Amino acid sequence: MRYIEPHAHMVSRTTDDYRQMALSGCVAVSEPAFWAGFDRLSPDGFDAYFRQLTDFEPKRAAQYGIQHYTWLCLNPKEGEDRALGQKVLACIEKYLDRPNVVGIGEIGVNRVTQNELATFRDHVSFALERKQLILIHTPHLEDKYKGTRMIIDMLKNDPRVNPARVCIDHVEEHTVKLVLDGGFWAGMTLYPNSKCTPARAVDILDRFGSERLWMNSACDWGPSVPLNVPRTALEMRRRGWTAEAIDRVIFQNPVRFLSQCPKFKLPPA
């Protein structure tokens, strides 16, 4: 089995996790910028974090034969402070041409406030003006449908947006159709307690097909399982999916999306 982990917050994981992922067939990870567990009040904290994502983390991953890609942004949880967002975007400018940066993300909304939406719009414009791929976080639980709806409406009203270059992550049963019908890519996050479990993710694949869908474990500071993509592949196999169909979801799909960024390249198998 070979797979890509397209959404993993590796800064919060140990090298043991990298080892387990490599042993399970992981060949590349893409790591979106996220929340540090506290709100960073100045752009300096982001500068240090972006250095970690573009310099240190790729070296750590390489020790296990895993290629490391990353996305940069101000996380939606901190998006209330629009002025900080502007300063962070100015800071991102100097990291954009680093070899492992594939786009802007994960941006989006958390509590779906006006300020968060404005910061989100600033990030989308920044990405479009610089021809970057976009990775979008959708809010949790009761805010998910409303937040996803607002994000999609906003993107559809911007004629510059090509939905094939945008992945909307953390979809669930009630939001996946909205995302796919809009021509966007959809990500399913496999969490032990919330979002999608592996069984629910395979149900969604059975219902909605596997075109323009990827799966990730998010693996962050909270309860999460870094091996949830291969574990879900096992569930697919148990339910009779062929090896080729599984490979399409866990390897070929993320490769197709990420390859739209010319920097994303895998070594020959």
Question: Binding residues for Zn ion, per CB under 5 A?
Answer: 34, 218
Q: How far is the CB of 267 from Zn ion (least distance, A)?
A: 26
Q: How far is the CB of 37 from Zn ion (least distance, A)?
A: 13
- Count CA within 13 A, CB hemisphere, residue 99: 9
Rg (CA), the chain: 17
Of 6 and 230, nearer to Zn ion (C-beta) is 6
Query: What strands, in cross-sheet order, belong to the sheet with 3-5?
Result: 3-5, 26-32, 67-72, 101-108, 133-137, 166-168, 185-189, 213-216
Q: How far is the CB of 109 from Zn ion (least distance, A)?
A: 14
Query: How does DSSP classify residue 252?
Result: I
Q: How far is the CB of 188 from Zn ion (least distance, A)?
A: 13
Of 33 and 112, nearer to Zn ion (C-beta) is 33
Of 140 and 160, nearer to Zn ion (C-beta) is 140
Q: How far is the CB of 218 from Zn ion (least distance, A)?
A: 5
Residue 98 burial (C-beta neighbours within 10 Å; 0-12, 13-18, 19+) = middle
Of 34 and 214, nearer to Zn ion (C-beta) is 34
Of 34 and 69, nearer to Zn ion (C-beta) is 34
Of 136 and 202, nearer to Zn ion (C-beta) is 136
User: Whats the size of the chain, residue-wise?
Assistant: 269
Q: How far is the CB of 234 from Zn ion (least distance, A)?
A: 23
Of 218 and 227, nearer to Zn ion (C-beta) is 218
**Cα 134 to chain centroid, rounded:** 9
Helix, strand, or coil (residue 31): strand
Task: State the DSSP string of 78-89.
Answer: GTT-HHHHHHHH
Of 110 and 210, nearer to Zn ion (C-beta) is 110
Q: How far is the CB of 106 from Zn ion (least distance, A)?
A: 5
Neighbours of 59 (CB within 10 A): 9
Query: What are the residues whose beta carbons fall under 8 Å from the beta carbon of 186, sequence distance 6 or more?
Result: 167, 168, 169, 171, 176, 179, 180, 212, 213, 214
Burial 113-142 (b: 16+ CB within 10 A, else e): eeebbebbbbbbebbbeeebbbbbbbbeee
Q: How far is the CB of 140 from Zn ion (least distance, A)?
A: 11
Helix, strand, or coil (residue 144): helix
